[in-house]
Amino acid sequence: MRVLTELPALDAAEREHLERMHALVRAEVEARGEAIPFSRYMEIALYAPRLGYYRAGWRTFGARGDFVTAPEVSPLFGRTVARQVEQALSLIGEREVIEIGAGAGTLAARMVAELVPRGGVRYRILELSGAMAARQREAIAARAPDALASVSWIDALPEPGFRGVVLANEVVDALPVERFEVTAGGVSMHHVGFEAGRPIWESRPADPRLAEAVESIQHEVGHVLPAGYVSEIGPARCAWAASIAERVERGLVLLMDYGYPRRELYHPDRRAGTLQCHFRHRAHGNPLVRCGLQDITAHVDFTALARAAGLDVAGFTTQGEFLLGCGLLDPAVGVAPGSPEFVRLTTEIKRLTLPGEMGEAIKVMALTRGIEDPLIGFSGRDHRVRL
């Protein structure tokens, strides 16, 4: 991922799209008569019907898109995650899987290709975006046609009583967050207004709920955060985790995402927060440009998610250790060293596991109810003490 020097220019269709997004933001600011919270801006930019980044049908993922996720790096990712899912399904005694936010459908296609032949699995995808759901169906039809009949799309979580596995890869970091700033006089909340034809930052005193949340973060991390410290907080993410947990009667919720335990996320040295935008493989920190044309993410507070869910935390580790625990290296056994196959496998394994690649920045958390046995993906070092 290149770090921003200069963003590529927009073509005519993108410029027109940007104008429409600006009109949406402006209309909302005018209707409220004041700047909108950053979380609302992020929601519009990513999820506004037909226009938001995930709903407009842009290329989004892969070499021709804006960023690459682990399932796009290698089929080994889905194949290895499927082993964890298979173990959990056999412990639960049900063959029900729900994937939330399946993106381009690459992980789903690989998962059903692995799971369906081992015995009928019902694989449901909860996807917010119709454009994404269409792409997922295409991906599965092309790469796992025999399994397509086992897949269906849902637009809400099932009723309580679910028994099975829920998984979400790089979904939580795309759920809206609030942005706060510690000031000499207290805590302020970043809002987005509209001026001279574009969205602009505005600052407002934090509402008591947010100020209290920031207060409790400071208390927990054991540091007074310095004036000028900016970061994000995700109440909507906690509500999301709680709503999943309350549906699960017996099962595993597997969350994989960029993020940290709370004490590390809000380390006093991380003074500018973790907001990251991706536009054609350029990473930068300004969510107010390219509205609706770029991804916007913020790292996940895994401690907050675990607490909000209230399930057993059966495991917390890095992506690299998780995949190795699930047998990532097995496909390389017996492959002749130096052969093109060996080179391909080792290159992909390195990208998925090395700390400088995706191996450490992405964490994996297993939340369970009614599962006592240890999960294979967490057989390496136990990182739960960091939560």
Ligand X SMILES: C[S@@+](CC[C@H](N)C(=O)[O-])C[C@H]1O[C@@H](n2cnc3c(N)ncnc32)[C@H](O)[C@@H]1O
Residue numbers of the site for ligand X (CB under 6 A)?
Answer: 54, 61, 69, 71, 100-104, 106-107, 126-129, 132, 169-171, 174-175
Q: How far is CA 252 from the centre of its chain?
A: 17
CA distances from 45 to 23, 169, 190, 239, 288 (A): 12, 20, 16, 20, 9
Cβ-based nearer residue to ligand X, 128 or 134: 128
Q: Are 106 and 71 in contact (CB under 8 A)?
A: yes
Q: Which helix (H) or strand (E) holds 240?
A: helix 235-245
Cβ-based nearer residue to ligand X, 86 or 127: 127
Cβ-based nearer residue to ligand X, 166 or 217: 166
- In the numeric block, the tokens 């990712």 are attached to 77
Distance CA 50, CA 54 (A): 9
Q: Residue 93 Cβ, how far from ligand X at the closest point, in Å?
A: 27
Q: Are 384 and 318 in contact (CB under 8 A)?
A: no
CB atoms within 10 A of CB 222: 8
Cβ-based nearer residue to ligand X, 187 or 255: 255
Q: Residue 151 Cβ, how far from ligand X at the closest point, in Å?
A: 15
Q: Residue 173 Cβ, how far from ligand X at the closest point, in Å?
A: 7
The helix/strand/coil state of 127 is: coil
Q: Residue 47 Cβ, how far from ligand X at the closest point, in Å?
A: 7
CB atoms within 10 A of CB 343: 12
User: Taking CA 374 as the corner, what is the angle to CA 373 and CA 377, rounded to the nearest 5 degrees?
Assistant: 140
Cβ-based nearer residue to ligand X, 174 or 308: 174
- In the numeric block, the tokens 């964490």 are attached to 363
CA distances from 86 to 144, 221, 323, 353, 359 (A): 17, 37, 14, 21, 22
Cβ-based nearer residue to ligand X, 75 or 217: 75
Q: Residue 105 Cβ, how far from ligand X at the closest point, in Å?
A: 8
Cβ-based nearer residue to ligand X, 107 or 366: 107
Q: Are 285 and 335 in contact (CB under 8 A)?
A: no
Q: Residue 191 Cβ, how far from ligand X at the closest point, in Å?
A: 22
Cβ-based nearer residue to ligand X, 61 or 123: 61
Cβ-based nearer residue to ligand X, 11 or 159: 159
DSSP string over 189-214 = EEEEEEETTEEEEEEEEPPHHHHHHH
CA distances from 219 to 213, 222, 237 (A): 10, 5, 21
Q: Residue 171 Cβ, how far from ligand X at the closest point, in Å?
A: 4
Distance CA 71, CA 76 (A): 8
Q: Residue 301 Cβ, how far from ligand X at the closest point, in Å?
A: 17
Q: Residue 53 Cβ, how far from ligand X at the closest point, in Å?
A: 9
